[in-house]
């Protein structure tokens, strides 16, 4: 099979397409024939060496949508099931940017029925991150939440999920993204100055750190998206950072919200797997609204 990997760190040009053996599922694993796989900033970090692994072949890709192709023992999934999954992990020889991928059954969920595989592939990593960040924040219905980086993938899901839970969401985004933010459920959109202490909680998808912490009221809550990189608590503000985990049960709930029209999935552009380096170059340019998706 073909797979996108890096064998030495660098820019988009470091991405290579190689031939590899089709992986075999072990117990409590399934093999997925990949129909689409989203490209995320974490893939750029892996490619650049942010997570180590020098001297090794490292596979790229965390998000996958496709069809179960084979199963190990002790799994309820069957060949032919259409699924989505988070293929979690930093430094592995092969990952989701390939024609086939093996994942643990606990990471797999039934694919949304109302969207195609390209759109479904944008769901796992970013929606799980947003949902797990909100679980850490625990905003109550009616409380105020500021989402920084709200036009990005994680931020966009956070806006939608929080609004669905009855939270009063303010999106921090560019003026040009205001209409998009309101369509996702934001009650307010700000693009300039933010009042200190003005919010019960902040989900800092833009990684503003202490600047965003100042916008939380005394005794409120702050959650960032870079594991173990959140600012220290001040003024009684509870601080934490989400570290996404594969959770097939939660992913199934999120897929259900897609089918109910609660969550909108955004695809910016698609690329053939062979053009993965071009997709990385586009991601590096910035300004992408929605996800870039690779198609084997």
What is the per-residue pLDDT across 277-291, written as a single tens digit (0 to 9) for each?
Answer: 999 999 999 989 999
Rounded Cα gap, residues 98 and 59, in angstroms: 9
Q: What pLDDT is recorded for position 287?
A: 87
Average pLDDT on 38-61 reads 96
Classify burial at 196, counting beta carbons within 10 Å of its beta carbon; exposed 0-12, middle 13-18, buried 19 or more. Answer: exposed
Please give the structure tokens belonging to residue 152.
């990005």
Number of Cβ within 10 Å of residue 166's Cβ equals 12
Q: What pLDDT is recorded for position 17?
A: 98
pLDDT digits (tens, 9 = 90+) for 76-122: 999 999 999 999 988 999 999 999 999 999 999 999 999 999 999 99
pLDDT band at 294 (very low <50, low <70, confident <90, very high): very high
pLDDT band at 292 (very low <50, low <70, confident <90, very high): very high
Q: What pLDDT is recorded for position 198?
A: 96
**41 and 8 Cβ atoms separated by less than 8 Å:** no
pLDDT digits (tens, 9 = 90+) for 236-255: 999 999 999 999 999 999 99
For tokens 């490292």, name the residue: 58
* Vertex 142: Cα angle to 140 and 148 (nearest 5): 80
For tokens 């985004």, name the residue: 173
- For domain 126-241, say whether CATH 3.40.50.720 is its number: yes
Edge-first strand listing for the sheet containing 188-190:
188-190, 168-172, 144-148, 199-204, 216-224, 238-241
Query: If we measure between CA atoms, which residue out of 221, 182, 183 comes closest to residue 204?
Result: 221
pLDDT band at 41 (very low <50, low <70, confident <90, very high): very high
pLDDT digits (tens, 9 = 90+) for 136-175: 999 999 999 999 999 999 999 999 999 999 999 999 999 9
Rounded Cα gap, residues 189 and 242, in angstroms: 24
- For domain 2-123+265-295, say whether CATH 1.20.120.1770 is its number: no
For the chain, give every residue range classified as CATH 3.90.180.10. 2-123+265-295
pLDDT band at 6 (very low <50, low <70, confident <90, very high): very high
For the chain, give every residue range classified as CATH 3.40.50.720. 126-241
pLDDT band at 66 (very low <50, low <70, confident <90, very high): very high
Number of Cβ within 10 Å of residue 34's Cβ equals 27
Per-residue pLDDT at 295 exceeds 90: yes
Number of Cβ within 10 Å of residue 191's Cβ equals 14
pLDDT digits (tens, 9 = 90+) for 191-233: 988 999 999 999 999 999 999 999 999 999 999 999 988 999 9
Please state the φ and ψ torsions of residue 88, each to the nearest 5 degrees.
-75, 140
Q: What pLDDT is recorded for position 192?
A: 87
């Amino acid at each position: 099979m073909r797979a996108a990997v890096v064998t030495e760190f660098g820019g988009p040009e470091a991405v290579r397409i190689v031939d590899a053996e089709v992986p075999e599922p072990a117990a409590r694993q399934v093999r997925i024939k990949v129909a689409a796989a989203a490209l995320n900033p974490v893939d750029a970090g892996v490619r650049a060496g942010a997570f180590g692994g020098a001297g090794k072949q490292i596979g790229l890709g965390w998000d996958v949508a496709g069809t179960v192709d084979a199963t190990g023992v002790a799994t309820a999934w069957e060949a032919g099931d259409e699924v989505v999954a988070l293929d979690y992990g930093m430094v592995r020889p092969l990952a989701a940017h390939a024609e086939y991928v093996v994942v643990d059954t606990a990471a797999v969920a039934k694919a949304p029925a109302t969207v195609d595989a390209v759109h479904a592939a944008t769901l796992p990593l970013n929606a799980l991150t947003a949902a797990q960040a909100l679980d850490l924040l625990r905003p109550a219905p009616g409380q105020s939440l500021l989402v920084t980086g709200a036009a990005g993938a994680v931020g966009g899901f956070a806006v939608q999920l929080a609004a669905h839970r009855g939270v009063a969401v303010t999106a921090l985004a560019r003026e040009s993204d205001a209409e998009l933010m309101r369509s996702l459920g934001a009650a307010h959109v700000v693009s300039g100055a933010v009042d200190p202490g003005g919010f019960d909680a902040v989900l800092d998808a833009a990684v503003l750190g202490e600047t965003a912490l100042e916008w939380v009221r005394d005794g409120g809550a702050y959650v960032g998206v870079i594991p173990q990189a959140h600012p220290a608590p001040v003024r009684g503000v509870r601080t934490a950072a989400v570290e996404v985990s594969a959770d097939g049960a939660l992913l199934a709930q999120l897929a259900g919200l897609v089918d109910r029209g609660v969550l909108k999935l955004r695809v910016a552009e698609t690329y053939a797997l062979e053009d993965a380096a071009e997709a990385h170059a586009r991601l590096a340019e910035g300004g992408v609204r929605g996800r870039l998706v690779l198609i084997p």
